[in-house]
Structure 1
């Protein structure tokens, strides 16, 4: 596959002393730029958009805030404004300077709901004219996304690796602890969808279809569980957790159990799977097996 250089000047590369270029035509339109868009803005924008798009598998309005290509907050609500505010408030400190994507039409009411100027970019498939004008006045960049198929890719050894990016089957198998209700399974599905966009190793905790703790980018899954529960604090009690890959040891699951997490979704495939199942039963945690891993590097 040969891609020509695309004529869009970027403010700078991954760091301000580095240049960056685009090859191939990106599937977005810049409705408002203001300060020139950067390499990092585009990567973060796609990271937010793909997770928001995947949230369409669950009824409701989905919003995601991303920084450094990983979610800091995500939420699904029955009301657009509540969805946006919940996603931002899930980790308001990390959301500062972040990028917001929604899976619904971004209208005037949505634009007015963003009270503070701490978002760099807003991404959606549709915007109303009034929303565009309001976001412009807040000096927020606006990207309108056209339909495309997401990929993953990395440069390596002078070549470029490109792979598919898609969710596995969202049917989960009950393997330990009490079975969950239909509504509770929706919560578990939400956690699993959002963790697909979190950098591995990752553990994510959610409650009321809103993230409350995300442990991301750790070389140890146990450490990711510790970060997620530390951020969630008391909200971990009765909450739902997702792991982007299998638990290699029961220690990460034990951290979630000590925080009183109610249910966990994770792939399996460890040589210690039986220990994990035994531990989940001993802790009284509802444990469901995902059909595949969803870690991202």
Structure 2
């Protein structure tokens, strides 16, 4: 190994690494700020512009895009024609490429980042050199992660070069890094296309920005420009989908001990999401802990009043709203004191000492809330294994896509953010004001119950939940079979329409007074007439909420 090209944005550790290379007699080429740092550190550095015979230009946009750089990287050392070409063109081989990229991820994480700032932090030369070096891994070592500096330097000191295995691993890391980097760019520009271009239009940058089929009508057109017609509303479903995620941590195992698992973070700033939760105490989070906690958070985000949600195996087993978080949790627990055992609890208010003392009496896996009082945390210290997660923006709703993996592909859809499309009372009897509040409460919960699902509630508290059945009447049967509450005067919510009137008859037997469901069955009239016969009110929402 004779020559190294070093150009990094993240300069942590690079001076010590370069010093080690220099001691091994390796010539160092560099650019801009990196070259300045290395020289100030006492190293001899040759500017890339000396090699190319061409100065950096366009505010540094063009530095390394030159045959004397890429020829030196891409030439095969064992190919006689390649070596003759290098000699004829007076190109020296480059054996080591050390590059990390412009901080695009950190840039777009800033609040209200402009299009110009985002664009200027898109690296061009860096990914090009990285990919060139990775392509020629048989002869060239490429480093893009500072955590690899020590490993690479030790191999060079020991053998004068790196091993083929090391070069292959580092090349693979490069292709993953550049794919992630490009994915970040595509994701950010796609999600923010409308915002960025409207911002550009506001600055008068419309000369080259008219969309196909749009007519330039002067200043008036600029001020009344309808970006929602000129540009796609979003790029949620592009022709080519690249999802940039980075690993947060390895997990002990997956859903079962024989399955391996890891937790990955979505790119960008996603407030209110599980990846931003701070673990204050307890054992490491498992795959099932995270999956169940996500289900609890999604349901909790439906409520603004103080609310407690208990979840077991991704299904809610107790939900309650009240004027205080302590009372909300009391009612949440009382909804189903058996199923909550070993479950997840999510709350949308700070947990105080009295609420913590009530939780202390129960075996729980995870408690997540926007905050915990100092006294509450002292109480939880007696339960060392209990995982306590603090998520300040717990009610912040996440934009983006809902993704499910299938064999050989992905299913991608909008997140189910709405609740009711066209509320309509379809029976002779109308629900009272309190019944209407309970119907909406129950329907919010039903939206997050695995289909076919039903929820029975009263006074902003679930009394019975029937999830995940292949028949709706079976879901209702199961809910009622396990209930320990008097259901007289309660309300019933269903995530999808009633195909028959059997659920209404079952509701009548239990004294249920009102029902909410989407409607839309061919036999809706049978259920309506049955409700009228028994004096039950029924509301159609016009919006189904299957959850599979």
* TM-score, normalisation: structure 2: 0.51
* Contact 1:3–1:23 (CA under 8 A) maintained in structure 2: no
Select 2:280's aligned residue among 11, 21, 32.
Answer: 32
Matched, 1:268 2:519: yes
What does 1:199-238 correspond to in 2, within 5 Å? 199-232=450-483, 235-238=486-489
Aligned to 1:110: 355
Aligned to 1:44: 292
Aligned to 1:131: 376
* Offset, 1:234: 5.4
Unaligned residue ranges in structure 1 (runs of 5+): none
Matched, 1:149 2:394: no
Q: Deviations over 1:140-169 (max 9, x none)?
A: 212223445165332102323233131323
The CA distance in 2 between the partners of 1:148 and 1:203, in whole Å, is 24
What does 1:167-178 correspond to in 2, within 5 Å? 167-169=418-420, 172-178=423-429
Larger radius of gyration: 2
The CA distance in 1 between the partners of 2:508 and 2:499, in whole Å, is 16
What does 1:46-65 correspond to in 2, within 5 Å? 46-56=294-304, 60-65=305-310
Name the SS for the 1:8 alignment partner. Answer: strand
The CA distance in 2 between the partners of 1:80 and 1:148, in whole Å, is 20
Aligned to 2:314: 69
Q: Number of residues paired by the alignment?
A: 294
Aligned to 1:19: 260
Q: Which runs of 4+ in 1 moved over 3 A?
A: none
Aligned to 1:165: 416
* Offset, 1:288: 0.4
The CA distance in 2 between the partners of 1:239 and 1:105, in whole Å, is 30
* Contact 1:65–1:98 (CA under 8 A) maintained in structure 2: yes
Q: Deviations over 1:53-87 (max 9, x none)?
A: 2121xxx4211100000100011112221211211
Which range moved further: 74-83 or 111-120? 111-120
The CA distance in 2 between the partners of 1:233 and 1:283, in whole Å, is 24
Aligned to 2:167: none
Which range moved further: 213-222 or 286-295? 286-295
Matched, 1:2 2:243: yes
Q: 1:233 to 1:253 in 2, by over 3 A?
A: farther
The CA distance in 2 between the partners of 1:39 and 1:96, in whole Å, is 18
* Offset, 1:121: 0.4
Name the SS for the 1:256 alignment partner. Answer: helix
* TM-score, normalisation: structure 1: 0.92
Name the SS for the 2:298 alignment partner. Answer: helix
Q: 1:117 to 1:232 in 2, by over 3 A?
A: closer
Name the SS for the 1:105 alignment partner. Answer: coil
* Offset, 1:137: 2.9
Unaligned residue ranges in structure 2 (runs of 5+): 1-241, 267-273
* Contact 2:251–2:262 (CA under 8 A) maintained in structure 1: yes
More helix by share: 2
Select 2:344's aligned residue among 99, 104, 114.
Answer: 99
The CA distance in 1 between the partners of 2:485 and 2:382, in whole Å, is 38
* Contact 2:498–2:527 (CA under 8 A) maintained in structure 1: yes
Which range moved further: 238-247 or 47-56? 47-56
Q: 1:170 to 1:191 in 2, by over 3 A?
A: farther
* Offset, 1:5: 3.4
The CA distance in 1 between the partners of 2:248 and 2:454, in whole Å, is 39
* Contact 1:172–1:288 (CA under 8 A) maintained in structure 2: yes
